[in-house]
A = this chain, B = another copy of it.
């Protein structure tokens, strides 16, 4: 392996000084080489320094550099979510992936954390993040979200709020979201054209602003389409598949079959559909079904659900870009960015 690690004694950290000594130059020169300030270093010394860096296996000490330049090259990604498996949601997973990939290209690092709304203020976790900015997905009822938002703002760092329907409250915060309400309207138009008269909407009881927007858009769309549509909403206790199923079963036990079921996301749509199929109710003939998000998992269920496609990965990328330009240019390029969503016809309508 490396040439001289016979013992397991913790080798002393190799510093810029050590490299300087070995290459017989000043520490400053090493620093210039490390940071690519080649204007200040002759080709020959640079080569020599680089050789010593490799030989000694030198790596910069980020805490020292950060302390000096007060820049961490790092952003914190926070999910306020009741579920411990906050990343299992595909939306979240895509956002993180997009964010990470954009930021790592610019040599930045992403620190992830899921946290329950109730613990947010107690927890020192967020305050302990050593980052230059945050990207946050909030959930929970409006007043709780607001309290968290205030804590975040008090951190006094660049902040990207994902999927928040509110306006950016100040210069230091920027909204990145998709047009969820528009998605709801697309679904309403589609269903209205199919003469749907009663709709069941299935959503988690955990309050996600994006899902609220979808439902609001749905209502709005039906209203605009004229016709007299009855919309019932049921709340599943948790985000889980069985929880959504239970909510639908509860509803169906007490109400006539609706003409359509709209899931707050594809998982909920598929859960609802599974019950209809269990009961031999034909989809889409007797009941139409639509979901929301359009991630790959939707392919597992048949018939394929009609949905509205979210660009979650791109949302993450955009958030990353926003933060990067905020870091480089001192301000966000825009206070709000809204990505479009796309209607995707499946076999369930």
Q: A108–B125 Cα gap in the complex (Å)?
A: 8
Asked whether A94 lies within 8 Å of B90 as measured between CB atoms, the reply is no
Tell me if A154 counts as interface (CB < 8 A to partner B). Answer: yes
State whether B72 touches A63 (Cβ < 8 A): yes
Which residues of chain B are near A67, meaning CB under 8 Å?
Answer: 61, 63-64, 67
Q: Are A85 and B1 in contact (CB under 8 A)?
A: no
Complex CA distance for A57 and B153, rounded to whole angstroms: 12
The interface residues of chain A, by DSSP majority, are classed as mixed
In the complex, A88 has a CB within 8 A of chain B: yes
CA separation between A67 and B87, bound complex, in Å? 32
**The one of B73, B85, B295, B313 that contacts A313, using a Cβ cutoff of 8 Å:** B85
> A111-119, A137-145, A212-220: which lies at the B interface?
A111-119
Q: In the complex, what's the smallest C-beta–C-beta distance from A155 to chain B, in angstroms?
A: 8
- Residues of B close to A122: CB separation below 8 A: none
- Chain A: interface residue total (CB-CB under 8 A): 70
Interface pair B88/A94, CB less than 8 Å apart: yes
Query: Is A241 in contact with chain B by the CB < 8 A criterion?
Result: yes
Q: Does A66 sit at the interface, judged by CB under 8 A?
A: yes
Question: Does A104 touch B at the CB level, under 8 Å?
Answer: yes
Is B62's CB under 8 angstroms from A130's CB? yes
B residues in contact with A63, CB < 8 Å: 62-67, 72, 130
Whole-angstrom CA separation of A70 from B64 in the bound complex: 10
Q: Is A207 an interface residue (CB 8 A)?
A: no
Residues from 52 to 97 in A contacting B, C-beta threshold 8 Å? 57, 59-67, 70, 72-74, 84-88, 90, 93-94, 96-97
Which residue of B110, B170, B242, B270 is within 8 Å of A112 (Cβ)?
B110
Inter-chain contacts of A104 with B (CB < 8 A): 113, 115, 125
Using known A-B contacts A114-B101, A156-B11, A301-B300, determine if residue A96 contacts B107 with beta carbons closer than 8 Å.
Answer: no
- A39 within 8 A of partner (CB): no
Q: Measured between C-beta atoms, what is the minimum distance from A166 to chain B in Å?
A: 14
